[in-house]
Chain A
Amino acid sequence: MMKQFEVVEAPIDINRYHEYTIDEKQGAVCMFTGHVREWTKGTRTVHLEYEAYKPMAEKKLAQIGEEISERWPGVRTTIAHRVGKLEISDIAVVIVTSAPHRKDSYRANEYAIERIKEIVPIWKKEVWEDGEEWMGDQRQYHPSLEEK
């Protein structure tokens, strides 16, 4: 059984999240999937490892859903983020936003991924052929961001 906002270990089945956002009011569904990229600025990634502070991460994903509901009433959101070892092209995150009309679903979807990079306690380790490193600060968390 899926949850509306969750951190999972198993490969993500995007259809379950897509279906979750559909009801008779919604005329537009926007789905974003983030994948493991092999090449980043000339460096070859062998695989990625994601780690989460799971209960807090799920709370923060739900908070993003609430923020979206305040900004774009009528939008339904579901988000899943995978943790553990991920191979090239695996899905790391899926965000689905549905709305009566398409503009809100697009805007809400982009908002969600930006907020994930700010407030959700999930970390990525890049593993290369000759080393590895925990990534940080794609958009570093700052307390002022919390009160958006």
Chain B
Amino acid sequence: MKVMLFAGLKEKTGESRITLNTPGAMTAGELKQAIYAQFPSLEGDVFQVACNESFVKDDQVVNEDDEVALIPPVSGG
């Protein structure tokens, strides 16, 4: 699963897009755990998951071919 990163998350990993090893579809909550397990530099970072440009809650399912992004706390304006 490909996952887009922004702002501090992008800077920490040095990547704007990471590939997550996943068994296929998973919930957003499981995806967060997979991120922390496979990218230890992001441990402790807070973010929401966006799927196809909408925020999803932890129990919602994310599919392999969805456009997935990690959204750290926003600071626009």
Residues on A lying within 8 angstroms of B by beta carbon are 34, 50-53, 55-57, 59, 81, 92-93, 113, 116-125, 134-138, 140-141, 143, 146
Are B69's CB and A56's CB within 8 A?
yes
Query: What residue in chain B is nearest A34 (Cβ atoms)?
Result: B77
* Chain B residues numbered 61-77 whose CB sits less than 8 Å from any CB in chain A: 69, 71-77
Distance (Å) between the CB of A45 and the closest chain B CB?
13
Q: Is the CB of B75 within 8 A of A137?
A: yes
Give which listed residue, A53, A55, A113, A138, contacts B75 with CB less than 8 A. Answer: A138
Point out residues on B near A: beta carbons under 8 Å. Answer: 4, 6-8, 11, 46, 48, 50, 53-55, 57, 69, 71-77
Q: Which residues of B contact A141 (CB under 8 A)?
A: 48, 55, 71, 73-74
Q: Which of A51, A138, A143 contacts B6 (CB 8 A)?
A: A51
Q: How far is the CA of A125 from the CA of B11 in the complex (A)?
A: 11
Q: How far is the CB of A44 from chain B (nearest CB, A)?
A: 19
Closest to A49 in B: B7
